Amino acid sequence: MKNGAAHSKSSNTTFYRLLPLLAGLLPLLVGLRVHIQGFNLMDDGLWLLGGRVLAGGGHLFRDLFSIYGPARYVLILPFLQIFGHSVLALAVFKAVLDGVAAGFGFWLTRRLGAGRWAWLVPVGVLALGPVYPRYVAAAVFAAVVANQIPTGNRLGRGWVLGLAWGLLSLFGLDMMAYGAVILLGGWFLGRRGAENSLPGWSWLEVGGGWALVLAPFAIAAIFKGYLGTVWWDTVVYPVTRFGGEMGRSWWATFTSGESLAEVFSGLNTGESLTAFMPGQAAWRTLAWRLLFVLAWLLPAGTLWLVWRRQLGKLAPLAALSLAGWSTLLGRGDTDHLRLIAWALLLLLPVLLSRLRNRIGLVAAVLGCVLVLGPRLGEQLWLATHLDRPTLSKWERETARIHLGTERQQGLEALLNDTQWDGHSPVVAWPAQPGLVFLLDAPLGTSQMTLLAGEVRDPQQAVAALQADPAAVVVLGRSAGLVTGVRTVKALAPELYSHLRQNYSLSSSMQTPDGVFRILHHQAGGEAAVRQLPLEKRLPGDTQFVRTGTTPVMGPGTSVAQIVQVSDFDLSGVALLVGSPGPWPQQISVTLRVVGVTDGRGDQLLAEIPLQITLNEQIERVGLSFDPVPGTVGGAIILDLEGNTDGQSPFTLFWHQPKAGQDANLDYYPDGQAFWNHQPAGADLFFAVY
């Protein structure tokens, strides 16, 4: 009997030890089906590009502009080794990490007394995945703190805490701050228990352990000569410049019913999938709003409970959830809410296990269904509908994932249209590092791979391109990336000038990812570029917002626009023209170029008669002429006199802010338009060359 009981006890022990593995298995298997669908050219592209730099023997920060620490790039290296330099490697890594997060969270919450409620963790990971490695690392650190602080005066625990904090800090400045909150919160909230005191000398050990982890990286950067770059990328930039339009108001997201209701948001396949069950959009909206409420209330409530009930073991997890507030305040979109919800998944099972009231238990189960149900349903639907007709596998060696057919064809056409020679450096800017990875091309410069498209040092970027010109430059969009910036030129004027003077515009392509312009290097430099037709050159200043048209242009009427001219003397202008037909329609206009001093036109530099043939109701027209001497480097007035014969009426498109919300919008503050020599409170649609 004793042997049978011992055998039964041993079997039960083995079974319970296997439970965390079972808890992680389903998120892993589902993740392998879901995470191979879609690709984010910005975040995922930078992640893969950083891993590739390390795999090729390069150095982060010296060879790659990134605000993230090295840990996220190091972790993906084994997967790049096994699955090749492909997006598939990242997809498998995300699935494995979901499995690890679910298994670890299940183990941790059971250890804290969650019982069967611990199964909420793998279910939550299924619904809210993929979980990002830095948040999993933060939870592991919280577990270490919970294990180490309440151990009396045992020697060495300060070193353990310091080493663990140092490893967490390798994910970046935000995780270093998270670690500080977890460590201090775990210590402060646990002080009410006598066994939880952490003596002063232990704090010296904490600092020593933290420095011991980071010191080798700092020393390597010193000897390689890029410590200042590391400091700027990982500390100065995130603290002083990471914000503006990259930030998101959590309240704006919370109150935006339309964005919360978008089914399958964040999928990144390029598909427009519709709801697969009635009321899915409304349920989704409710779920996100409840999760926002939980993100604010649960940490506060847990902190109060920890303090009142002296739950020292729970204190570090409560501090982790509290640290999530900083993320929510800076980036309050649903993607970041989903990431910090990982900490809530670790708290909820422990708290729910304390419920004894039947009504409370029913309400808790219902609440979990309401919060997790929509995302869980979508994830399972994606995992079981990999063969849907709008999705296809991308066989490109650097991809090997599934994308929406239209998006895949657009990206493939874009990559093929670059006509890359297979070995020369390539620049994709702004915000598209994934394109360089998909091409498997060397980076044209380390100065411009940050997500927002900002350039670390434009002079160094230009110097790098002068020393080793990138054969191909792919220009993406700029609007919405940095506060007040609507053009690529405004992101880095010096760099854009170099591109204008040394690259031809080979093609412009509309894809599901936006409009891309493909540039190729001109060996003859500025002299060669001057000889190209307007459609093969990058424009200087532009203003492409339009809300209406000028009055009809005729004899004796004129419309003018103050513009800034840079890089080249003025040799062309593009305008958007409207005409009633019939087509083709011939119009004759006179363009006068007037120099500007102190905001006033004071010198006629050129008077150019032009014949224009219009073939459509709305047509972008390029007017090319010999360079006008003396126009480069300053402001000029482009004064267009109406049709001299009066037989063919036409209008020009412009942006004229409307009263109310748009009254103060000025998309081209460097100039303004005039109608019959009077300020029009508008700006023409134009591009100057």
Contact 456, 410 (CB under 8 A): no
Instruction: Please name the residues in contact with 5: beta carbons below 8 A apart, sequence gap of 6 or more.
Output: none
Residue 183, Cα to own-chain centre: how many angstroms?
A: 30
Sheet holding 558-565, edge to edge: 600-614, 585-597, 634-641, 558-565, 673-675, 678-679
CA separation for the pair 496, 566 (Å, rounded): 11
Tell whether the model's pLDDT for residue 324 goes beyond 50. Answer: yes
Using alpha carbons, list the distances in angstroms from residue 139 to 23, 133, 598: 17, 10, 61
Quote the CA–CA distance of 240 and 586 in Å, as a whole number.
55
Q: Give the model confidence (pLDDT) of 555-599 as tens digits.
A: 889 999 999 999 999 999 999 999 888 889 888 889 999 998 877
Q: Half-sphere exposure (CA, 13 Å, Cβ side) for 400? A: 15
Write the Ramachandran bin of 422: left for phi over 0, alpha for psi from -120 to 50, otherwise beta: left
What's the token pair of residue 542?
A: 């532009």
Q: Could you list the beta-strand ranges (E) of 349-502.
A: 391-394, 401-404, 426-429, 472-475
What pLDDT sits at residue 192?
56
pTM above 0.85, yes or no: yes
Q: Which of 171, 215, 216, 172 is nearest to 71 (CA)?
A: 171
Helix (H) or strand (E) holding 9: helix 2-34
Predicted confidence (pLDDT) at residue 150 exceeds the cutoff of 90:
no
How large is the average pLDDT for residues 7-33? 81
Digit-coded pLDDT (tens) for 268-278: 999 999 999 99
Rounded CA gap, 281 and 537, in Å? Answer: 46
Cβ–Cβ contacts within 10 Å for residue 212, how many? 13
CB of 686 within 8 A of CB of 537?
no
Q: Rounded to an integer, what distance in angstroms lies between the CA atom of residue 611 and that of residue 138? A: 67
Query: How large is the average pLDDT for residues 621-634?
Result: 92
Give me the chain's average pLDDT, please: 89
Q: Does the pLDDT value for residue 410 go beyond 90?
A: yes
Local confidence band at 172 (pLDDT 50, 70, 90 cut-offs) = very high
How far is Cα 103 from Cα 330, in angstroms, rounded to an integer? 30
- Bridge partner residues of 595 (DSSP): 603, 636
Residue 34: what pLDDT? 97
pLDDT at residue 199 greater than cutoff 80: no
If one counts every other C-beta atom within 10 angstroms of the C-beta of residue 447, the result is 26
Q: Binning pLDDT at 50, 70 and 90, where does residue 1 land?
A: very low
Residue 194 confidence (pLDDT):
44
What would you report as the CA-atom Rg of the chain, rounded to the nearest whole angstrom? 30
Res 9: pLDDT: 52
Please state the separation of Cα 528 from the chain's center in Å. Answer: 36
- Cis before 130 (ω within 30): yes
User: Could you tell me the sign of the dihedral formed by the alpha carbons of 403, 406, 412, 418, in that order?
Assistant: negative
What is the phi/psi pair of residue 122, to 5°?
-60, -35
Alpha-carbon gap, residue 653 to 659, rounded angstroms = 18
- Among 554, 575, 681, 568, which Cα is nearest to 638's? 575
86-109 pLDDT, tens digit each? 999 999 999 999 999 999 999 999
